[in-house]
């Protein structure tokens, strides 16, 4: 098996370079993920690093080579395996929603901590995640903060369908409710206005002009709705900042991801208004601000 593996790993290594926002996808992990998929045991790149690879019969080897060709052709690994790892969850993935990125785990961890703090003052804090995509942030909070009432929303019916499937997969379908709607529109009711403890969002934040410069793997395979943030890349972010205060309770938190270079200016904007009493910046390993937390 080792020779078969090494030949195909070298082929992958020579044929593609992993994207910076998918650092977990090395030639080794990619091949292992495709190998498991060919064997009928779909795994993400991270999950595929665990365990001993199964033996493949001739038909499965043919399937593996076909998967390798599609990967080399630019199809995202998560679309081939149907899986993506996020924090401690193995999620269903596909063209219906943006594939969760490692960088978004920074927002996910912050959201979990904020929801836990909220539960100290309210046994059942309300958590709302907009632009929820496949549901990764909402599901992470529900998984780790068992008393929270968690809701997710997205403009895309297909994304919400995928998020609901992920909830069932994780056994969280009774703890997270996913709704279709434009940003905060699904929450325009007394149940949510002025009562949300935590509002999270991983919005589209790439400027429309830069979409054409993105890697084809993303621009041609993942939903544009999930990454095109308008002319300046902040169309949805500006709406979020304007609309969020109506929904947050006193001491409630707004937490959202930002694109590279956007963080400092957005943090200054939040600090300059009266709606928030505290604004925190979360940086990645390179020191770049990638998430902002603002307390009402």
pLDDT tens, residue by residue, 256-269: 999 988 999 999 99
Residue 227, pLDDT score: 80
d(CA 81, CA 203): 25
**What structural domains and CATH numbers belong to the chain?**
2-81 (1.10.8), 102-295 (3.40.50.150)
Residues 6+ apart with CB under 8 A from 37: 43, 67, 80, 81, 82
Q: Which of 6-10, 34-38, 190-194 shows the lowest per-residue confidence on average (mean pLDDT)?
A: 6-10
Is the pLDDT assigned to residue 2 strictly greater than 90? no
DSSP reduced 3-state for 122:
coil
Whether this prediction's pTM lies above 0.75 is answered by yes
The answer to whether residues 139 and 176 touch, using CB atoms and an 8 Å cutoff, is yes
Q: Residue 203 — φ and ψ, nearest 5°?
A: -85, 165
Residue 1, pLDDT score: 63
Is the pLDDT assigned to residue 206 strictly greater than 90? no
Residue 163, pLDDT score: 98
Calculate what percentage of the chain has a pLDDT beyond 90. Answer: 81
What's the farthest any 2 CA atoms get from each other in the chain? Answer: 66
Kindly report, residue by residue over 207-239, the tens digit of the pLDDT.
Answer: 888 887 888 888 889 888 888 788 877 899 999
pLDDT mean over 118-134: 95
Predicted confidence band at 73 (pLDDT cuts at 50, 70, 90)? Answer: very high
d(CA 184, CA 198): 13
Kindly report, residue by residue over 99-117, the tens digit of the pLDDT.
Answer: 999 999 999 999 999 999 9
Kindly report, residue by residue over 127-175, the tens digit of the pLDDT.
Answer: 999 999 999 999 999 999 999 999 999 999 999 999 999 999 999 999 9
Residue 210, pLDDT score: 84
Short-list 98, 23, 99, 109, CA closest to 283: 109
Burial of 193 (0-12, 13-18, 19+ CB in 10 A): middle
């Amino acid at each position: 098996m080792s020779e078969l593996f090494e030949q195909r790993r070298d082929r992958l290594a020579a044929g593609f370079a992993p994207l910076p926002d998918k650092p977990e996808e090395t030639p080794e992990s990619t091949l292992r993920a495709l190998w498991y998929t060919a064997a009928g045991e779909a795994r993400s790149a991270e999950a595929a690093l665990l365990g001993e690879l199964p033996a493949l019969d001739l038909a499965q080897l043919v399937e593996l080579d076909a998967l390798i060709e599609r990967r080399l052709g630019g199809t995202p690994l998560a679309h081939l395996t149907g899986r993506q790892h996020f924090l401690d969850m193995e999620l269903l993935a596909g063209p219906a929603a943006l594939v969760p990125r490692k960088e978004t785990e920074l927002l996910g961890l912050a959201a979990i901590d904020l929801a836990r703090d909220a539960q100290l003052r309210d046994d059942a804090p309300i958590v709302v995640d907009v632009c929820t995509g496949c549901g990764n942030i909402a599901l992470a909070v529900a998984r780790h903060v068992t008393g929270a009432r968690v809701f997710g929303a997205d403009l895309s019916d297909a994304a919400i369908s995928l998020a609901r499937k992920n909830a069932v997969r994780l056994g969280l379908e009774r703890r997270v409710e996913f709704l279709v709607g434009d940003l905060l529109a699904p929450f325009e009711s007394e149940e949510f206005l002025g009562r949300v403890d935590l509002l999270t969002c991983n919005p589209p934040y790439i400027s429309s002009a830069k979409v054409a410069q993105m890697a084809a793997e993303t621009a041609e395979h993942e939903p544009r709705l999930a990454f095109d943030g308008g002319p300046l890349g902040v169309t949805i972010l500006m709406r979020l900042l304007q609309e969020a205060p109506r929904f947050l309770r006193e001491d409630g938190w707004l937490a959202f991801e930002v694109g590279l270079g956007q963080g400092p200016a957005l943090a200054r904007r939040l600090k300059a208004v009266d709606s928030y009493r505290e604004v925190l910046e979360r940086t990645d390993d390179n020191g770049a601000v990638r998430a902002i937390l603002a307390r009402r």
